[in-house]
Amino acid sequence: MLERILKWLLYSLGALSLIVIGAIIWGGISGFQAEGNSMTKEQEQIMKEVNEPTEQKEIKAVEKDGIPSERSFRQELHEMTHQKVRANEKRGSQQMTAEHIDRMLGILKSVEGTEDHYEHFDFYKKSLEAWDKGDFSNAVTVHNTIWEWQNGTIGRATGLMSEEEEREYIKRNF
């Protein structure tokens, strides 16, 4: 009889331990953070500026030495999508800001019709112009297209993040 009680007690402690460990792991994976790590006012403002269309402005070309290779440009664009898309794994992050989008459009303006013209110029321009207007509905397509060009095997985007998920992503990465 005592042996049965001890067995039952050991099984109960084991199950309780698994529950506690599972809760700790779940908290870490789900991005649980203390209230003290909330988004800063600056991050909130950047998110607002990016997500809400603003008055269109003239995009300025960048200096020759500020023009990246197409591969670098494509990677930067890909990393910007990470702020908007759900994917089981993301490598690299570039904060999506109105200024960042404008800079990327400026790079495109600088290479348009030159010997440095990017092979996928039209794709980049269409994607960034939509973002500049506050339309991120193409972010999954942009992510997965670039991911396929890079022969990606893990981290395919599965959908757009909710606003709350984006806030959490920004808190964790910027």
pLDDT at residue 56 in the model? 59
Nearest Cα residue to 140 out of 91, 74, 84: 84
For 104, residues 6+ apart whose C-beta sits below 8 A from its C-beta are 73, 76, 77, 80, 124, 128
Give me the sign of the Cα torsion angle 65, 68, 69, 70.
negative
For 36-90, write each residue's pLDDT tens digit.
Answer: 456 788 888 777 777 776 565 677 767 777 899 999 999 999 999 999 999 999 9
pLDDT at residue 62 in the model? 76
Grade residue 93 by pLDDT with cuts at 50, 70 and 90.
very high
Lowest mean pLDDT: which of 12-21, 87-96, 132-141?
A: 12-21
pLDDT at residue 30 in the model? 56
* Pair 37, 171: CB distance under 8 Å: yes
